[in-house]
Structure 1
């Protein structure tokens, strides 16, 4: 008999194959569709996963009893790998176990110190050295909040903060003159009842006690936990001074809860216990302390500690110590790119650079010259309650806007009047949100999840950072003071600081953009751009304090052609001031206050001054006669 297929199977086969074909086509088309129309969806999903993992870990730690703090995480790491190097400093390695024991000795020596009790606030006026870390851990074991004093602050700020004890080291660097700074205000400190300890074995100055000798002689027995039983998540952990680029520095309060969240900074960016982290930024500042020091405690990594940043020694240090993770902030990347090129520029093990403030063109140049290093740019501030991470790697962006992050930390950009130096408000008194692609002031809602603690003993400055009635009556937001922009792809970009952006000829001028243009010229190395007032004129006109490249000369005609080619008329710096060096903070942020005050007055400024002259198509010397003509109105700007 001849075999024939069953009718039911013959009819069923085509629909089944058709269905399978549709399923297969769909599986193949979905990734293509997502990549074409939603190119960042997988990165967003991975970010959501990491964010949720961090939140789960944070919540579980918050629920632990007794209360779990950063110190407890360090003790876990000490137990897990006691002999592993925690700090490497000037060819000396200090293990997790040694660090723990040395901090115990320091804490026991402090307990024996008259005038100090566990829980008292202590100020550290020290540079980047292991003793800084040993002392901080010791004070954490004693439940004492710590004020991390910036090397650059002097008498007024040293006296401003109320502490029971001041630890400092005069051997940090001769240029810092810390010993002289303390001795200048020593009588006032003693009158306030402050005990002053010098990290040395001998001290001949009356009123200052040596301390290193006492630490050497102290017991290394562990400190009982009850000494810090008074500490809660709301207790201050450290006071970190803001950089003070626009005025006197303020002490931002970082409580124990915020310090606990800081543990996740490095681990959330893929740093593990096998990584070696190069810390050359100041430990008194957020970057060095929270990201470098505290972040490494979470990951159990090894820290290569450097006294201060050195562009010429940077890569040799990385090679010598097999560094895998580096930090950057402000101008660090540009300083590295400005060093002479070497054949072994790509001969290192660095795989990750984490920080903020890198410009787009420097980002490209850095990767091109030093190899395929992953750059994790982020946005945050010491006292702020919102942050972003550029997890997608978009060059120039500080982060990416997404639903979950915005739900947890409600924020928005609002229109800002740079001339009035205040947010734009509608007829109802509410702020006006910025449109996509429009520059606006970043504000973040103050909530239990995203609190704003404020500044120590400075309620006036704390209140200035609070913004009320933003999107609805009665709401409360944190005023970041930063102007940002969100593009159509939901990437967010830093534009400028409020106060740095100025208004001229009815147009807003972003100082960072003008600075970027000036520094890509043939002869200018650095440029600090700011606005100065001119009698008889509305707003502020552009001025730049610049340095000239080594071996080059300032060419007014070439600079004129350069700025005319790149900048609209209202954004072109009208005045240029030639300096030997651009003054910066300890974290390489440009100082502007003094420059703005001195303005363009040749009678007050010894540096060479130039003024843009459209008739001459050049920057020409700014003489006293020209200055008088501007003030009298005979010369129009």
Structure 2
């Protein structure tokens, strides 16, 4: 038993050492290590920050490349100097760099700190880059950890990489919704973040201890393991001292408070809307996108990082397609990337080697690779299952806990499986319920929905224009001011007011202000029919902008001028009775007793749209219910939400923009992005800068974008959907190919009545789809388009068409519509139906296909020939750019003619035409086909038939063909065939 006293003495010494060290920890918060921070000097001091320059004297000659280190918002700047020999500043200085550190301080100790916003931090970093550049005369390497890395990306994009040599990040997530901590499903996270941003962090900030506790709870296993390891070794001071500075920093000293507004903005922009990926985040009313990053980027990725998960960090590759992006992968967790032995031996030396390489002072680091990005399944985070099991299992074994976050994360895919369905249901059901509640006297209007959005989210973003963002609060204030100006000039409810304006914010404001008064907006397109449009629309007063002022004053009606920017000049005649609404002081206008905001009822007229049909100008009357149906229907079919930005490249006066684009965005709570016109370069820039997720088109508008070979928009674009009406099938297919993986959502909506069809699935390009929930029931009536008569049965009722039969589309007349043109006693006694202008057929699946306008059908001797199936069939030829079908009179009948344009350096053969049209019945094939240099299009990008029809029969030549029924194919059109056609009508073709 001679060993017993030694064991006893050893145990006593261990107990005494544990007691002594434990007392020191209790009294001082930790063990005294005698470590001192690195030398630094505060060279810039502002209310938002203090800028530290480490080892300033040694870098005074400007020979060292400057690197600016940005901490996360919730962490002390000392994270980069936990221990001089192992911390970032010490290692980087030893490698010949000039380290600078941004110190934001703590909001609870800074003047105005609790009011800081996320934008304040980004703008401060941008300012710091300029100051460091001024001090050193060199481009700056900007580096940030975790959220500090997000700040770096944002600041670099905000300043478009000016004076930046590179950006370096450590565990900085970009695609925040790709891999959320704790395996939280996306739908749950976004709804929770939305609620917290709107209702919690507008009133509450986060203290330092709350930040520390929250992050420790994100990895409770590791936190518990660290504490138990510390207690187990409390007797061994020498073993604890090397890691004591790191432990104290992460356990207590390293955490600072967060300001509520900054957290709310972080949640809104980068969790709810994930705008680091999509673009369109807002910094001091400026729209910013990471797609504008052009400097080299190095991202450090932790293989077992469950906060900045690998797939989220690698999102930068997709978000910044113009930049060179590299990565360095470490087997480390989130904190281990920057604090501890792995950081000292791998992270900081690699970062230093990167800077030296970019500066031409050394070779490319061996531990970096070019980053690639691959879309991951919703259940994947980039941390492999084996790594997670090993990492989590080892921790469990050491700590002795049973159920941990790691286990929950491995099984979290079960919860994720229903996220799309639940998110869609939450958005869709309230919209459908509201549609179902609309009665004739229900108040519903464009102005009312904008007012509701303002009350719900005053600081929410309403619309974007010229790189500026306008909040709901600012928009509604402007609307109310314009309302006062309009009322002071005599505008009253139900009065018809013409709107002649370019696409600009003031046009949207004018529409909303008239809606808020209850006046009727007559949308005037700037065409040669302007005088006729004013007469047909019953307009006595026009609201215009400076660009259209001279045209407006020539119409002999009262003119009100709105908008035009700060440098506006009104070009009017000296005796013009024009009123400048911008000169009216709204505070001096007393509202009359009759004024009630947003009085419009469902059955009341809201808009008058003017368009040509069959060569005649027609006025289409839109009630508030009809507008609401399109608005909520579009929002439902397109699944629009607050994370969407809907971008209209069509003018506001177009029916689909007013009803679907503008209406759908307002009803869905989405941002509206307006542009001055269709320009491919501007389109690409604004798509990224605005974070456009949905693009609205009309007819053939997408041709200019699809045909642009050097369109600067790549696979990483944020667009998920194109919505609109009239897109030919061929262009539809080309659009999906060019902008993959975006889809096309094609609508058909009758201007009057309540017919709304939508091809929601997109499975049948060219089809108009099925009736939207909440829209009116539809039927196809048997109809003879040549005689213009309905076909009736033995009882005298209109016969309903069967599957595959062509007829006129009718919509059931509802009580919500003030419809003048409804037919009664159509399919039964007393029923009421509203005819559309279009012929349709329905297939066996219940999908509707448009065949033609009833007045545009070719009246051939063999019977009616429908143009849309021909255009769709020829659009399947990839070399065909555009096509239009029309009839050319020959004798007492018409020949079916198709004009085509081809893509550059393309040609067609008779075999191509025969193959493309093979699925059409011979009687439905065109008689003549010819290639033309161009096809005229209207202001709404609709192909025009009139000039081609007026030109008569095509000229013979190598690019003109006629259909030979005996050969069942197409042959070269010759002068002899043309002569025979003129002499014999169409008998040569029909036998």
Q: TM-score range by the shorter chain?
A: 0.7 to 0.9
Match of 2:486 among 99, 107, 110: 110
Equivalent positions of 1:112-261 (< 5 A) are 112-113=488-489, 116-117=491-492, 119-152=494-527, 153-171=529-547, 178-179=548-549, 181-182=551-552, 185-186=554-555, 189-190=556-557, 194-195=558-559, 197=561, 200-206=568-574, 208-209=576-577, 211-212=579-580, 214-215=582-583, 217-219=585-587, 226-228=594-596, 231-241=600-610, 243-261=611-629
The residue aligned with 1:20 is: none
For residue 617 of structure 2, give the secondary structure of its aligned residue in structure 1: coil
Cα distance, 1:278–1:528 mapped onto 2, change above 3 Å: same
Equivalent positions of 1:325-344 (< 5 A) are 325-340=694-709, 344=713
The residue aligned with 2:677 is: 308
Say whether the 8 Å CA contact 1:101–1:220 is kept in structure 2. no
What per-residue deviation string (whole Å, max 9, x for no partner) do you get for residues 376-430 of structure 1?
333212213222233344323322379x87xx83322222223223222223322
What per-residue deviation string (whole Å, max 9, x for no partner) do you get for residues 464-510 of structure 1?
xx444321244331111222222222222223222333343525422
Cα distance, 1:509–1:382 mapped onto 2, change above 3 Å: same
The residue aligned with 2:849 is: 493
Match of 1:77 among 417, 434, 453: 453
Match of 2:431 among 21, 37, 54: 54
Cα distance, 1:154–1:202 mapped onto 2, change above 3 Å: closer
Cα distance in 1 for residues equivalent to 2:818 and 2:581:
41
Structure with the greater alpha carbon radius of gyration:
2
The residue aligned with 2:941 is: 588
What per-residue deviation string (whole Å, max 9, x for no partner) do you get for residues 189-248 of structure 1?
24xxx445475553332454555563474439896784147754332211122x324222
TM-score relative to the length of structure 2: 0.51
Structure 1 stretch 213-222 or stretch 357-366: which is displaced more?
213-222
Work out whether 1:424 is the aligned partner of 2:791.
yes
Cα distance in 2 for residues equivalent to 1:557 and 1:436:
32
Task: Report the CA distance between 1:323 and its aligned residue.
Answer: 0.9
Task: Report the CA distance between 1:127 and its aligned residue.
Answer: 1.7
Structure 1 stretch 144-153 or stretch 609-618: which is displaced more?
609-618
Task: Report the CA distance between 1:591 and its aligned residue.
Answer: 2.5
The residue aligned with 1:3 is: none
Equivalent positions of 1:144-543 (< 5 A) are 144-152=519-527, 153-171=529-547, 178-179=548-549, 181-182=551-552, 185-186=554-555, 189-190=556-557, 194-195=558-559, 197=561, 200-206=568-574, 208-209=576-577, 211-212=579-580, 214-215=582-583, 217-219=585-587, 226-228=594-596, 231-241=600-610, 243-268=611-636, 269-340=638-709, 344-396=713-765, 397-400=767-770, 409-448=776-815, 451=817, 453-454=819-820, 463=821, 466-521=822-877, 524-536=880-892, 539-543=893-897
The residue aligned with 1:546 is: 900
Higher relative contact order (CA 8 A, sep 6+): 1
Cα distance, 1:247–1:220 mapped onto 2, change above 3 Å: farther
Cα distance, 1:207–1:182 mapped onto 2, change above 3 Å: farther
For residue 332 of structure 1, give the secondary structure of its aligned residue in structure 2: coil
For residue 160 of structure 1, give the secondary structure of its aligned residue in structure 2: helix
Cα distance, 1:121–1:598 mapped onto 2, change above 3 Å: same
Cα distance in 2 for residues equivalent to 1:560 and 1:579:
15
Task: Report the CA distance between 1:580 and its aligned residue.
Answer: 4.0
Work out whether 1:633 is the aligned partner of 2:989.
no
The residue aligned with 1:94 is: 470
What per-residue deviation string (whole Å, max 9, x for no partner) do you get for residues 298-346 of structure 1?
2332211012333454333211211112223322344433332668532
Say whether the 8 Å CA contact 1:556–1:619 is kept in structure 2. no
Cα distance, 1:235–1:521 mapped onto 2, change above 3 Å: closer
Task: Report the CA distance between 1:123 and its aligned residue.
Answer: 0.4
For residue 244 of structure 1, give the secondary structure of its aligned residue in structure 2: strand
Cα distance, 1:560–1:351 mapped onto 2, change above 3 Å: closer
Task: Report the CA distance between 1:596 and its aligned residue.
Answer: 3.5
Cα distance in 2 for residues equivalent to 1:148 and 1:354:
21
How many residue pairs align between the two structures?
A: 558
What per-residue deviation string (whole Å, max 9, x for no partner) do you get for residues 551-571 of structure 1?
456x67677666676665544
Contiguous gaps of at least 5 residues in structure 2: 1-419
Task: Report the CA distance between 1:149 and its aligned residue.
Answer: 0.9
Cα distance in 2 for residues equivalent to 1:374 and 1:485:
24
Say whether the 8 Å CA contact 1:70–1:263 is kept in structure 2. no
Cα distance in 2 for residues equivalent to 1:589 and 1:245:
12
The residue aligned with 1:21 is: none
Cα distance in 1 for residues equivalent to 2:971 and 2:930:
14
Cα distance, 1:578–1:368 mapped onto 2, change above 3 Å: closer
Structure 1 stretch 194-203 or stretch 542-551: which is displaced more?
194-203
TM-score relative to the length of structure 1: 0.76
Task: Report the CA distance between 1:530 and its aligned residue.
Answer: 0.9
Task: Report the CA distance between 1:436 and its aligned residue.
Answer: 1.9
Cα distance in 1 for residues equivalent to 2:874 and 2:980:
27
Cα distance in 2 for residues equivalent to 1:299 and 1:524:
36
For residue 414 of structure 1, give the secondary structure of its aligned residue in structure 2: strand
Task: Report the CA distance between 1:47 and its aligned residue.
Answer: 10
Q: What is the RMSD computed on CA atoms of the aligned residues? A: 3.9
Task: Report the CA distance between 1:52 and its aligned residue.
Answer: 6.4
Cα distance in 2 for residues equivalent to 1:292 and 1:481:
22
The residue aligned with 1:13 is: none
For residue 540 of structure 1, give the secondary structure of its aligned residue in structure 2: strand
Task: Report the CA distance between 1:147 and its aligned residue.
Answer: 0.5
Match of 2:962 among 612, 624, 635: 612
Cα distance, 1:484–1:410 mapped onto 2, change above 3 Å: same
Cα distance in 1 for residues equivalent to 2:499 and 2:737:
40
The residue aligned with 1:8 is: none
Cα distance in 1 for residues equivalent to 2:958 and 2:970:
19
For residue 631 of structure 1, give the secondary structure of its aligned residue in structure 2: helix
Cα distance in 2 for residues equivalent to 1:570 and 1:577:
19
Structure 1 stretch 82-91 or stretch 224-233: which is displaced more?
224-233
Cα distance in 2 for residues equivalent to 1:613 and 1:378:
33
Cα distance, 1:94–1:215 mapped onto 2, change above 3 Å: farther
Cα distance, 1:541–1:617 mapped onto 2, change above 3 Å: closer
Task: Report the CA distance between 1:348 and its aligned residue.
Answer: 1.1
Task: Report the CA distance between 1:130 and its aligned residue.
Answer: 0.5
For residue 219 of structure 1, give the secondary structure of its aligned residue in structure 2: helix
Cα distance, 1:423–1:45 mapped onto 2, change above 3 Å: farther
Contiguous gaps of at least 5 residues in structure 1: 1-42, 172-177, 455-462
Cα distance, 1:628–1:467 mapped onto 2, change above 3 Å: farther
For residue 643 of structure 2, give the secondary structure of its aligned residue in structure 1: coil
Cα distance in 1 for residues equivalent to 2:641 and 2:460:
14
For residue 249 of structure 1, give the secondary structure of its aligned residue in structure 2: strand
Task: Report the CA distance between 1:111 and its aligned residue.
Answer: 2.8
